[in-house]
C-alpha cells in the first residue's frame, strides 16, 4: 500500500478505513466489545474486518449490487456495524430503522428507500417484516442475527447471519480478490447512508449522506475537539438510524480509532456506562433531562446528612461553572472550595452516573435547558450542546472550558452561518448532505443560493456564539401581537424532576399562554408515597389536588423568568403520556407540535374557556397493537395571580 502517509491520503471511505485499521492493528487491539450474558465479548480489528468481508461477499452472492439499498432494523450491537460496513464495501447504501417502529412505519422506510435486503435483529423485528412482506415486491432477503425464537420459521425470505457468512466464505474461495476490488472502487462521493429525518412536519425525508460526510466531516470534528486517535472508549446506545451515531459511533470508531462498547440491553445502559467509564459520551436532550430528574429525585429520598452536604456543595459547583463559562480564571479560594465540594459530593455522584472519565460530553437534537447544562457543569461534567443536523453535520460546538449554558458555541471552521431578515439560521458547510432521496423538490426548497435554510430561529452573540431560540414555525404570536417561544418555556419546565414533557400553547386568537403537562410518573409517584397520597393509575395521580399544586409551583419558578405576556396562565395535567406509537412524538422523542395541538384542540379550547374541568374520551394504542379508550375528567387549573 506504499508509505503510511500515502495510504492515509487515500482513506476517503469507511471501507478503506476499516482495511487501514485492520492492517495497522490486526488482532493486537480491540475494535469493539459487547456484553453478553454478563460477560464482555471482545472483537479485534482483524475480527471486525473478517466478519465484514464474509458478510459483504455473502450479500454479493445473494445478488446485492452497487447502489442497492440495505435496511437495518435492530438494537446497537456489533452485528449492526458489520452489516453496515458489509453493505458499504459492496457499494450499497444503508438505511437505518428505529427498533420501536411499528409495521406500517417499517413499510414506509423499506418501500420509500427501495430496499432489497433487510438485516434484522431478532424475532420481534422479523415478525414486523413478515407481516408486511406482501406489500414489498422489491424485497429479496431478510437476514437475522439473533436466532432465538426463529428456529421453526420456514419462510424462504429468511436467512441467518451465520448462513450468509458461510456464503461469503465460499464466495471468497471462488474470487479471492473481489472484496479488495470492491473496497478500491469506493469513492468519497458515493452515498453511504440514507438517514430519515424525524418527520415533525410531515412524512420523514431520506437525507443522503456521502462517504465524505461520514469520513471527512467526522475527521474534522474529532481533530477539532481532540478525540482523534486518543484510544478513547465510547458506549454505543444512540440508534444508528440517527445521524449522530453514524458520526460518533460508526464513523468515529473508524476515523478516530475510538473503541466501541455495546450495552447488554437498552435497560442496562446506565450500569454498563459505569463499568466502561467512556471518555466520549452523547446523550440526547431528553436523556440528560431524565438523568437530572433521577439525581434530584434520589437526593430528595436521601438521608438528611447527604441532603445537607448536597445543598452546601451545589452552590460552590454553580459558582465554578459560572466562572469557567464566562471564560474567567477562578481564584485560589474558589478552587479550594470546589475541590472540597468535588471530593465530598460530586466525585461519587459522577461515578454513579458513569461520568468519571468523561472528557468529550455532547448533546444535540433538541434544546436542553440551560439549567441542566449548568447543573452538570457544577458536578464537573461539561456538556457541549452542539448545533447541527443530518443535512449539515456539526455547525457549532462549544470549545475548551468556555461552555455557556444558553449557547451552542462558536461556528466550526468548515461552516458559515448567516441570518435571514426574519432571523432564520442559514448555513453553508463543506460537509453537506447530498439531497433528499427521491425528493428533488424538497431539496430545492431547503437550499437557497447554496445556503441551507434550517428553519430555526436564532442569532449570533457578540462573542460569535450561536444561540438557537426555536423553530421558525413554532414561534407564536398572541392576540396583542407579541411573540413568544414555546420551546424556551418547555425546556425549562422539563428541568423539573416532576415534569416529563410539556406542550406550551398560544396563538394569534389567544390572549394568554397555556400548557399541557405530562407528569413524570416515577418521580411524582415517589413524591406521592412520601406524602402518603393514595392513587391507582397515572390518570388518577395526575389529577390529585396535591399533584396539581406540585406542578403549579414548578410553573411558578419558570414564570418568574418570563415577561408577563409570555407567562403560563392556565394548565392541565394530562391523563396520559405523549406517545411515539400514537404519532405524538417522533422516534427521537421530539414533540410533533402541530399534530398534538390538533389532537387535543378541544382540550386546548377548554383551557381558554370558563369550565373548571373537561371530560376527555381519548383513543389509545397499546404496545401489542390493541386499541382502547380512556374516559376521565381533567381539571383546568389557573395560576395564582402573583405568578402569572
CATH superfamily, domain 4-204, is ANL, N-terminal domain (3.40.50.12780)
Supply the pLDDT for residue 296.
83
Supply the pLDDT for residue 322.
87
Instruction: Check: CB of residue 488 under 8 Å from CB of residue 568.
Output: no
Supply the pLDDT for residue 625.
63
393-412 average pLDDT score: 87
Give per-residue burial for 452-489: e unless 16+ CB within 10 Å, then b: bebebbbebeeeebbbbbbbbebbbebeeeeebbbbbb
464-484 average pLDDT score: 85
Long-range contacts of 516-521 (CB under 8 A, 24+ apart): 516/571, 516/572, 516/574, 516/596, 516/600, 516/603, 516/604, 517/493, 517/551, 517/571, 517/572, 517/573, 517/574, 518/574, 518/577, 518/578, 519/547, 519/551, 519/573, 520/293, 521/577
Distance between CA 64 and CA 69 in Å, rounded? 9
Q: How far is CA 134 from the centre of its chain?
A: 32
Q: What percent of the chain has pLDDT over 70?
A: 95
Supply the pLDDT for residue 468.
86
130-135 average pLDDT score: 96
618: pLDDT strictly greater than 70: no
Looking at every residue in the chain, the average pLDDT score rounds to 90
Q: Does domain 285-472 have CATH number 3.40.50.12780?
A: yes
6: pLDDT strictly greater than 50: no
> Which range is least confidently modeled, 170-184, 237-251, 459-473?
459-473
Host H or E run for residue 527 = helix 521-530
Residue 631 cell numbers, joined = 374516559
Host H or E run for residue 40 = strand 39-44
> Which range is least confidently modeled, 292-296, 310-314, 606-610?
292-296
Distance between CA 239 and CA 580 in Å, rounded? 15
DSSP letters spanning 549-578: HHHHHHHHHHHTTS-GGGSEEEEEE-SS--
Supply the pLDDT for residue 1.
41
Terminal-residue alpha carbon distance, the chain: 70
Q: State the maximum Cα–Cα separation within the chain, in Å, rounded to a whole number.
A: 81
163-185 average pLDDT score: 97
> Which range is least confidently modeled, 274-278, 351-355, 375-379, 585-589?
585-589
> Which range is least confidently modeled, 174-183, 229-238, 399-408?
399-408
45-58 average pLDDT score: 98
Supply the pLDDT for residue 585.
80
623: pLDDT strictly greater than 60: no
Residues 6+ apart with CB under 8 A from 568: 489, 504, 513, 514, 515, 555, 558, 559, 639, 644
281-289 average pLDDT score: 86
475-643 matches 285-472 in CATH topology: no
pLDDT tier for residue 2 given thresholds of 50, 70 and 90 = very low
Model pTM? 0.81
Supply the pLDDT for residue 497.
83
Summarize pLDDT for 421-450 with one digit per residue, the tens: 888 999 999 999 999 999 999 999 999 888
Instruction: Check: CB of residue 431 under 8 Å from CB of residue 393.
Output: yes
Q: What percent of the chain has pLDDT over 90?
A: 65
Supply the pLDDT for residue 153.
93
Distance between CA 140 and CA 164 in Å, rounded? 14
Summarize pLDDT for 563-607 with one digit per residue, the tens: 888 899 999 999 888 887 777 887 767 788 888 888 899 999 999
127-144 average pLDDT score: 96
614: pLDDT strictly greater than 50: yes
272-287 average pLDDT score: 90
Q: Domain limits of the chain?
A: 4-204, 285-472, 475-643
Instruction: Check: CB of residue 349 under 8 Å from CB of residue 291.
Output: no
4: pLDDT strictly greater than 50: no
Summarize pLDDT for 176-227 with one digit per residue, the tens: 999 999 999 999 999 999 999 876 556 889 999 999 999 999 999 999 999 9
Supply the pLDDT for residue 3.
45
Residues 6+ apart with CB under 8 A from 173: none
544-556 average pLDDT score: 94
70-77 average pLDDT score: 97
The CATH fold of domain 475-643: GMP Synthetase; Chain A, domain 3 (3.30.300)
Summarize pLDDT for 22-42 with one digit per residue, the tens: 999 999 999 999 999 889 999
Distance between CA 423 and CA 459 in Å, rounded? 7
How many residues make up the chain in this entry? 644
Summarize pLDDT for 491-546 with one digit per residue, the tens: 889 878 899 999 999 988 999 999 999 999 988 998 999 899 999 888 889 999 99
Summarize pLDDT for 289-302 with one digit per residue, the tens: 888 888 888 887 88
Supply the pLDDT for residue 200.
57
Supply the pLDDT for residue 371.
81
Amino acid at each position: 500500500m506504499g508509505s503510511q502517509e500515502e495510504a492515509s491520503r487515500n482513506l476517503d471511505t469507511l471501507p478503506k478505513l476499516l482495511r487501514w485499521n485492520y492492517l495497522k492493528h490486526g488482532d493486537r487491539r480491540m475494535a469493539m466489545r459487547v456484553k453478553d450474558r454478563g460477560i464482555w465479548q471482545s472483537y479485534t480489528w482483524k475480527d471486525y474486518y473478517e466478519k465484514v468481508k464474509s458478510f459483504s461477499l455473502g450479500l454479493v452472492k445473494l445478488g446485492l449490487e452497487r447502489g442497492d439499498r440495505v435496511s437495518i432494523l435492530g438494537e446497537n450491537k456489533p452485528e449492526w456495524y458489520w452489516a453496515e460496513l458489509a453493505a458499504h464495501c459492496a457499494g450499497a447504501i444503508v438505511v437505518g430503522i428505529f427498533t420501536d417502529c411499528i409495521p406500517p412505519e417499517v413499510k414506509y422506510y423499506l418501500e420509500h428507500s427501495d430496499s432489497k435486503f433487510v438485516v434484522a435483529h431478532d424475532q420481534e423485528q422479523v415478525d414486523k417484516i413478515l407481516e408486511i412482506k406482501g406489500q414489498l415486491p422489491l424485497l429479496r432477503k431478510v437476514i437475522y442475527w439473533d436466532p432465538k425464537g426463529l428456529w421453526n420459521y420456514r419462510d424462504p425470505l429468511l436467512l441467518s447471519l451465520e448462513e450468509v457468512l458461510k456464503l461469503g466464505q465460499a464466495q471468497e474461495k471462488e474470487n479471492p480478490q473481489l472484496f479488495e476490488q470492491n473496497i478500491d472502487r469506493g469513492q468519497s462521493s458515493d452515498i453511504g447512508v440514507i438517514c430519515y429525518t424525524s418527520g415533525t412536519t410531515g412524512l420523514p425525508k431520506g437525507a443522503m449522506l456521502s462517504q465524505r460526510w461520514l469520513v471527512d466531516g467526522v475527521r474534522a470534528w474529532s481533530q477539532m475537539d481532540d478525540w482523534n486517535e486518543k484510544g478513547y472508549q465510547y458506549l454505543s446506545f444512540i440508534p444508528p438510524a440517527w445521524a449522530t451515531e453514524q458520526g460518533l459511533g460508526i464513523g468515529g470508531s473508524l476515523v478516530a480509532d475510538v473503541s466501541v462498547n455495546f450495552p447488554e440491553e437498552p435497560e442496562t445502559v446506565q450500569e454498563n456506562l459505569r463499568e466502561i467509564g467512556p471518555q466520549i459520551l452523547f446523550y440526547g436532550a431528553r436523556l440528560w433531562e431524565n438523568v437530572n430528574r433521577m439525581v434530584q429525585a434520589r437526593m430528595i429520598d436521601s438521608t438528611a446528612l447527604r441532603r445537607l452536604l448536597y445543598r452546601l456543595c451545589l452552590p460552590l459547583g454553580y459558582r465554578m461553572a459560572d466562572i469557567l463559562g464566562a471564560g474567567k480564571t477562578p481564584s485560589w479560594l474558589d478552587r479550594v472550595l470546589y475541590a472540597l465540594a468535588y471530593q465530598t459530593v460530586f466525585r461519587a455522584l459522577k461515578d454513579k452516573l458513569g461520568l468519571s472519565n468523561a472528557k468529550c460530553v455532547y448533546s444535540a437534537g433538541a434544546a436542553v435547558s440551560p439549567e441542566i447544562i449548568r447543573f452538570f457543569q457544577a458536578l464537573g461534567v461539561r456538556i457541549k450542546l452542539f448545533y447541527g443536523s443530518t443535512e449539515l453535520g456539526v455547525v457549532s460546538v462549544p470549545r475548551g472550558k468556555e461552555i455557556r449554558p444558553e449557547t451552542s458555541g462558536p461556528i466550526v471552521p468548515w461552516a458559515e452561518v448567516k441570518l435571514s431578515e426574519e432571523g432564520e439560521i442559514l448555513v453553508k458547510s463543506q460537509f453537506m448532505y447530498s439531497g433528499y432521496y427521491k425528493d428533488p423538490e424538497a431539496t430545492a426548497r431547503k437550499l437557497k443560493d447554496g445556503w441551507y435554510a434550517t428553519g430555526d430561529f436564532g442569532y449570533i452573540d457578540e462573542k460569535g456564539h450561536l444561540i438557537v431560540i426555536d423553530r421558525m414555525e413554532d414561534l407564536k404570536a398572541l392576540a396583542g401581537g407579541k411573540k413568544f417561544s414555546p420551546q424556551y418555556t418547555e425546556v425549562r419546565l422539563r428541568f423539573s424532576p416532576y415534569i416529563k414533557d410539556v406542550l406550551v400553547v398560544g396563538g394569534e386568537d389567544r390572549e394568554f399562554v397555556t400548557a399541557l403537562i405530562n407528569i413524570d410518573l416515577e418521580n411524582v409517584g415517589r413524591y406521592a408515597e412520601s406524602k402518603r397520597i393514595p392513587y391507582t393509575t397515572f390518570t388518577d395521580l395526575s389529577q390529585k389536588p396535591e399533584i396539581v399544586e406540585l406542578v403549579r409551583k414548578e410553573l411558578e419558578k419558570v414564570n418568574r423568568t418570563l415577561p408577563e405576556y409570555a407567562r403560563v396562565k392556565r394548565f392541565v395535567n394530562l391523563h396520559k403520556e405523549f406517545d411515539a406509537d400514537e404519532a405524538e412524538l417522533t422516534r427521537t422523542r421530539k414533540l410533533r407540535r402541530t399534530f398534538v395541538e390538533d389532537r387535543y384542540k378541544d382540550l386546548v379550547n377548554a383551557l381558554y374557556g370558563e369550565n373548571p374541568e373537561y371530560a376527555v374520551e381519548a383513543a389509545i394504542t397499546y404496545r401489542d397493537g390493541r386499541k382502547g379508550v380512556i374516559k376521565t375528567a381533567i381539571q383546568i387549573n389557573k395560576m395564582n395571580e402573583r405568578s402569572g
